Amino acid sequence: MLRNVYNWASMYKTSFWFVIKDSFGGMEELSSKMRNQVRKSLKTYDVCRVSASEILRVGFPIFQTALENYKVKAAQINMETFETRIRQSEKAGNVDFWCVYEKETHKAVALAINTLYEDCCDYNTMKAVPAYLRNSTYPYYGLIYEMNRYYLQELGVKYVNDGAHSITEHSNIQPFLIDKFHFRKAYCQLQIVYQWWMKIAVNILFPFRKQIPVQAVKAILNMEAMRRNKY
């Protein structure tokens, strides 16, 4: 199966999009409530770019607990797989690592892994210890604010990108970014090329996609619905 995207940032609404932000307005662009929450986050936590070795030191427990608490069951990751991913990212040379540390305890409670290109930055991974997302200290708020500031204002990239419309529905991060941080949907068209047998299976199962319990199959059918603009 091959997936292609065309008509990037189309003026016409479709069922498939990327979630991007192409401007940074500082605290002034946020609502009064959001400004207070971001300030509380930055008062509680230190947000900084770190080395790959630091992510290797503190990151695995964050990954592990975050994946265990997804509302949709996600594939777990072991230490060896985690280390391999970080080493490969470091070798690529254009990957940034971020950490969020509780100021009082110096404990790492959240992280991000981003890929930086010439004119944009992909927010590939954000993970946080779930307990800190529920204690009204808002670690993600400070992390996202500082990353937006760094890439859009300091480096001057054209946009930051949180990725395509999710087909797994495992996270609410994209609606959160749109609602709270003024990310927007960059609409585009999705093209999928299936192997012949897979195309037949997708066409047979598509009318029953909402009843399919197997997450891997459901994700493919969700993607097909986006291709047909029926999602």
Is residue 226 over pLDDT 80?
A: no
Give me the chain's average pLDDT, please: 90
Predicted confidence at residue 81, as pLDDT, reads: 94
Scanning the structure block, which residue is given the tokens 């008062």?
43
What are the start and end residues of each CATH 3.40.630.30 domain in the chain?
A: 19-184
Entry pTM: 0.85
Mean pLDDT of 44-55: 98
DSSP letter at 104 equals T
Scanning the structure block, which residue is given the tokens 């993607």?
223
Predicted confidence at residue 72, as pLDDT, reads: 58
pLDDT in tens, 102-139: 999 999 999 999 999 999 999 999 999 999 999 999 99
163: left (phi over 0), alpha (psi -120 to 50) or beta: left
Is residue 170 over pLDDT 60?
A: no
Predicted confidence at residue 185, as pLDDT, reads: 94
Task: Tell me how crowded residue 182 is: count the other CB atoms within 10 A of its CB.
Answer: 17
Which stretch, 69-83, 109-123, 162-176, 189-203, has highest mean pLDDT? 109-123
E strands, 10-59, are: 17-21, 45-50
Is residue 69 over pLDDT 80?
A: no
pLDDT in tens, 13-45: 888 889 999 999 999 999 999 999 999 999 999
| 164 DSSP β-pair partners | 18
% of the chain surpassing 70 pLDDT:
94
Predicted confidence at residue 125, as pLDDT, reads: 94
The architecture of the domain spanning 19-184 is 3-Layer(aba) Sandwich (3.40)
Looking at the chain, how many residues does it have? Answer: 231
**Higher local confidence (pLDDT), 200 or 180:** 180
